[in-house]
């Protein structure tokens, strides 16, 4: 870099370059992590019906402010939570009118429920 600079100056330049590279790497990782979380979206509403292959949820449309039904597919990879406990579809015993939160992944399939969250049993 600087032929007339001594070993201490060259070492200082190398340390500054490594610090700059580390900052770029950390920033890149943070942006990627943020992007991954933005692809997931949760829909909250009440259960209209539930079958092992799908769940219908009544949600309030953000533009019309009226309730609309949304159907989400359920598959073997869908995680179903009752409170903080992960359960099977049969164990969940999902009831009509029950509050539910369905998480979907826009990058994979907008109609596939990746996570279904229900209140803990009473």
In total, how many domains does the chain have? 1
| Across 93-110, average pLDDT | 90
Please report whether residue 56 resides in a domain: yes
C-beta of residue 112 within 8 angstroms of C-beta of residue 75? yes
- What CATH number has the domain bearing residue 45? 2.40.50.320
Please report whether residue 95 resides in a domain: yes
| Bridge partners, 91 (sequence order) | none
Please report whether residue 48 resides in a domain: yes
**Using CA atoms, how far apart are residues 50 and 48, in angstroms rounded to an integer?**
7
Q: Spell out the alpha helix ranges (H) of 1-122.
A: 7-39, 89-92
| Bridge partners, 103 (sequence order) | 42, 115
pLDDT exceeds cutoff 70 at 35: no
pLDDT of residue 32: 63
Mean pLDDT of all residues belonging to the chain: 85
- Above pLDDT 90, what percent of the chain? 56
pLDDT exceeds cutoff 70 at 8: yes
C-beta of residue 59 within 8 angstroms of C-beta of residue 67? yes
Please report whether residue 55 resides in a domain: yes
More confident residue, 8 or 89: 89
pLDDT of residue 3: 57
Q: Which domain holds residue 102?
A: 41-118
Please report whether residue 13 resides in a domain: no
Please report whether residue 21 resides in a domain: no
Please report whether residue 59 resides in a domain: yes
- Please report the sign of the dihedral spanned by the C-alpha atoms of residue 48, residue 119, residue 110, residue 50: negative
Please report whether residue 46 resides in a domain: yes
| Bridge partners, 79 (sequence order) | 115
- Predicted TM-score (pTM) of the model is 0.66
pLDDT exceeds cutoff 80 at 80: yes
pLDDT exceeds cutoff 70 at 43: yes
């Amino acid at each position: 870099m600087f032929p007339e600079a001594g070993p201490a100056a060259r070492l200082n330049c190398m340390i500054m370059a490594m610090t700059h590279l580390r900052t770029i790497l950390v920033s890149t990782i943070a942006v990627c992590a943020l992007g991954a979380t933005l692809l997931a979206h949760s829909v909250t509403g009440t259960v209209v019906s539930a079958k092992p292959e799908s769940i219908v949820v009544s949600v309030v449309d953000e533009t019309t402010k009226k309730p609309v039904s949304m159907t989400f597919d359920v598959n073997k990879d869908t995680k179903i939570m009752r409170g903080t406990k992960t359960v099977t579809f049969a164990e969940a015993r999902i009831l009509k009118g029950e509050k539910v939160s369905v998480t979907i992944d826009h990058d994979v399939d907008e109609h596939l429920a990746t996570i279904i969250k229900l209140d803990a049993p009473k």
